Structure 1
Amino acid sequence: MKTDRTKFLPFVLAAVLCGCAAEAERKMSLTRGDVEFERPSGSGEPHLSMGAGGRAVLTWIEPDGPDGEASAVRLAIRDENGWSAPRTVRATDQLFVNWADFPSSAEMPDGTIAVHWLEKVAEAPYAYHVMLALSPDGGATWSEPFPAHDDASPTEHGFVSMVPWRTGAALTWLDGRAMVPNPEDGARGAMSVRFRTLEPDGHLGPEVLLDDRTCECCQTALARVGQGLVAAYRDRSESEVRDISVVRGAGERWTEPAALSTDGWTIPGCPVNGPQLSGDEQAIASAWYTGVGGTPRVYAAFSDDGGATFGPRIRVDDGLPLGRVDIERLDDGSAVAVWLEASDATPRILARRVWPDGSMEVPLMISETAGERSSGFPRMVRIGDELLVAWTLATDDGGVRVRSVRIAD
């Protein structure tokens, strides 16, 4: 049974209104820099992760070959000398390219970089698997690809979250192995979320089922908190309530799923809008999108006990959010959330600093964008006193872009 351990304060609305009133008391601490990395038209699906020694790792997809019929997973690293030249992880005409389900990376403690992507395994529209490759030399060379999961059924597998963990990495993914129709009655099972570990030599730990009924195509989230891990995802009840759930654990032992926030959003299909997490020794910040009551909102919430409980949800959007959130926690306990905001003119990617007491700054515009799927999901990583934000500029001459946002006290 899924329980609700959320510790909401009695007057959430009052807290949110108080936070809005406190906006003017917070000076703007985020400063937008210039675009420092860009790729050509047709590139998209960027993702950022933090590597060793304060460097950042960017992955994305772009057309490959003389006719552009194949696609390539590419990688670039930013260190004290700037951005490296793009390196190819995998190029094939079997790549499954999805605007909402993008490759990601994790650099392990020994310097090995793991990258995941999606690859077709059959002619069916949604028959694809999660594939992995490892590089021991900063992306110069790569291992042969291998599947991240034991299941070989021609069903959906994707929406991976991957973080460095112990001596290697940890990953969660959505797994559709139970969605194969039953030969007797044609009934299909539900999407599930699963977990396993990955070592630098390619060894994969046991698969662990975290939840056997989840939303079909919302991103998962995974964060390290102290000695443990917290995973978040959009759940799915029998009555089609699709709120955000969390589980906590390490290795093969995990808690039962619990509601991060009891929004009560009942929707008969997947909204393609998953949660995000950012954690440290005990504290964690979360961000998510909901459309309950026909009113779209982006919320943030904070936990100071490793994700066991979360404080009141804080609305951070500017009134007309499209969602597609990310979040990074800062050293003083605040966090910066990023999301897509619609408007009467041009949709924008906004970033906003928010504190657990509900106070926040005015939003900072990262870039103008578009509401179409081609604009993808902005992704963010914190490197010291700056944030790197990656997004897809959905114009004829656009593509992947990255810019720095400085954080002041």
Structure 2
Amino acid sequence: MRRLALLAALAVSPLGHAHDMHGMAMGHEAPLGFDAAIDAKGRLWVVDTVGDHVRVRRSDDMGKGFALSTIVNPAGEPIYAEGENRPKLALGPQGELYVTWSQPRKAPWTGFVRFSRSLDDGAHFDAPKTVHVDRAEITHRFDSLAVDGKGRVVVAWIDKRDLEAATQAGKPYLGAATYYSWSTDRGEHFVPERKIVDQSCECCRIALARAPDGSVNAFFRAIYGDNIRDHAFATLSVDGGHPAVQRGTFTQWHIEGCPHHGPSLAIDASGVKHAVWFSAADDKPTISYGQLVPGKPPVHTAVVATTGASHADLAVDGQRVWIAWNQMTASGLDLMLRESTDGGASFGPPRAIAHTDGASGWPKFVLSAHQPFVAWNPGGMFRLVQVTP
């Protein structure tokens, strides 16, 4: 009964909206999901949704105003646009703009991963395409997007084709699988998808980060044993090899369902994998920080925040590490921050850097000339919060 009570508590998002076990909103919340990035010219790019349309905007004054707003999919289509399942944005080395999102299909909790690109500085986007070869009306959702050091576009997502096959064969299968694909021609074509691993969590976002060697690493919630929902990480090979998946966290959280609470990952110039993740093992909701070690418990672990804290993101620049998260309070939602100046060995105390009386999308770090900002979306009113000492 304690597990059921915990699951029921987790099924109510920090935004105050109940969700089912598959990530669909059970209500009529406004879509607050967004993504953001700053390009080499110091311009801010934001992707979000307006009705059945994905929208990309550019700000030349760090979010005070938007000089450009372009609809990515003029024809319109259903879009998952909140929580863990929101549109994504990535920048290419030649000024390319890449966008992905998950498109609901007719059956509940199904979806296709969609992709579009702009090669003319956001003025126009190509007609959207589906990334994966498999077109079964099943889950292909919770997409994540990155660009590697050679400009190749990498897309990862949660996929239930193996669950469907196991069910038809009368075999047990927990959760879903994670898959990925990539493009070597700036998104013109994608290779047939490959599996990262079986039995990962159904509705937790996948964190992608680029390593110093240019490769893209994935960090995601996996399932071990009888519904132990910890995390795994892997380098996503784009040269014909298969990802070597390693266990990353060892909280031993046993939960028979998805907590809708994916991790974040940032890799510094020396290759250290800085990570934050959520667990409620022993009925203690906790956001933790640690540095990932293949097959071993993380090192330099620290408790970042506890009750009421959710959906942390982090950024790394040299010896500075920043963590931001949403914190529920009696008067609304605080955007919280903790900072390390010694490479994650220790962190200063938590402090609030913004507040909203209502709901907000999850925080997202962006860096400009070594200066961190936190993109936030309280009530759908996008803002960029500068991190000051």
**Change in CA separation of 1:174 and 1:201 when aligned onto 2, cut-off 3 Å:** closer
Query: 1:200 matched to which residue of 2?
Result: 186
Deviation for aligned residue 1:376: 3.3
- Structure 2 SS opposite 1:86: strand
Higher relative contact order, chain-length normalized (CA < 8 Å, sep 6+): 1
In structure 2, the CA distance between the partners of 1:271 and 1:160, relative to structure 1 (3 Å rule), is: same
- Displacement of 1:389: 2.0
Listed as ranges, the matches of 1:12-161 within 5 Å are: 42=30, 44-63=32-51, 71-79=52-60, 83-91=66-74, 92-121=76-105, 123-161=106-144
Would you say the 8 A contact 2:174–2:223 is kept in 1?
no
CA contact (8 A) 1:328 1:380 kept: yes
CA distance in 1, matches of 2:61, 2:295: 34
For 1:189 and 1:150, the matched residues in 2 are separated by 23
Q: Output aligned runs, 1:354-373, within 5 Å.
A: 354=340, 355-356=342-343, 358-369=345-356
Q: Is the 8 A contact 1:382 1:388 kept in 2?
A: yes
The one-letter code sitting in structure 2 at the alignment partner of 1:103 is: P
Matched letter for residue 294 of structure 1:
D
TM-score, normalisation: structure 1:
0.78
Distance 1:194 1:56 in 2: 30
Q: Paired residue for 1:213? A: 199
Tell whether the 8 Å contact from 2:89 to 2:99 is kept in structure 1 after alignment.
yes
Check whether the contact 1:51–1:106 (CA below 8 A) recurs between aligned residues. Answer: no
1-structure distance, mates of 2:233, 2:120: 35
Q: Secondary structure at the match of 2:229?
A: coil
- TM-score between the two structures when normalised by the length of structure 2: 0.81
**How far is 1:186 from its partner?**
9.3
Is the Cα–Cα contact under 8 Å of residues 102 and 143 in structure 2 kept in the other structure? no
Cα distance between partner residues in 2 of 1:189 and 1:283:
31
Counterpart for residue 208 of structure 2: 222
CA contact (8 A) 1:386 1:404 kept: no
Residues 1:232 and 2:219 aligned together: yes
Letter in 1 for 2:176: M
Match of 2:262 in 1: 274
Gaps of 5+ in 1: 1-40, 64-70
Question: C-alpha displacement at 1:330, in angstroms?
Answer: 1.8
Matched, 1:177 2:161: yes
Deviations 1:235-268 (A, max 9, x none): 0123100011111243143453222221111111
- Please tell me whether the aligned partners of residues 375 and 385 of structure 2 are also in contact (alpha carbons under 8 angstroms): no
Give, in angstroms, the shift of residue 72 of structure 1: 1.8
Pair 1:369–1:180, CA change in 2 (3 A): farther
For 2:258 and 2:353, the matched residues in 1 are separated by 27
Count of matched residue positions in the alignment of Structure 1 and Structure 2 = 351
Match of 2:25 in 1: none
* 1:4-29 deviation digits (Å, cap 9, x = unpaired): xxxxxxxxxxxxxxxxxxxxxxxxxx
2:33 maps to a residue whose letter is E
- Is contact 2:221-2:263 (8 Å) kept? yes
Is the deviation greater in 307-316 or in 72-81? 307-316
Q: Report matched runs for 1:393-404 at 5 Å.
A: 393=378, 398-404=379-385
Amino acid at match of 1:346: G
Q: 1:75 to 1:388 in 2, by over 3 A?
A: farther
- On the 8 A contact 2:35/2:48 being kept in 1, the answer is yes
Cα pair distance change 1:325/1:144, threshold 3 Å: same
Instruction: Give % identity.
Output: 22
1:215 deviation in Å?
A: 0.3
Q: How much has 1:168 moved relative to structure 2?
A: 2.7
Contact 1:301 1:311 in 2 (8 A): yes
Question: Is 1:386 the counterpart of 2:367 in the alignment?
Answer: no
Letter in 2 for 1:392: N
* Post-superposition offset of 1:406: 3.7
Q: Counterpart of 2:8?
A: none
**Cα distance in 2, alignment partners of residues 290 and 81 from structure 1:** 34
AA aligned opposite 2:204:
C
- Could you tell me which runs of 5 or more consecutive residues in structure 2 were left unpaired when the two chains were aligned: 1-28
- 1:298–1:321 contact (8 Å) kept in structure 2: no
Q: Secondary structure at the match of 2:382?
A: strand
Deviations 1:294-317 (A, max 9, x none): 1111111135x8999842311111
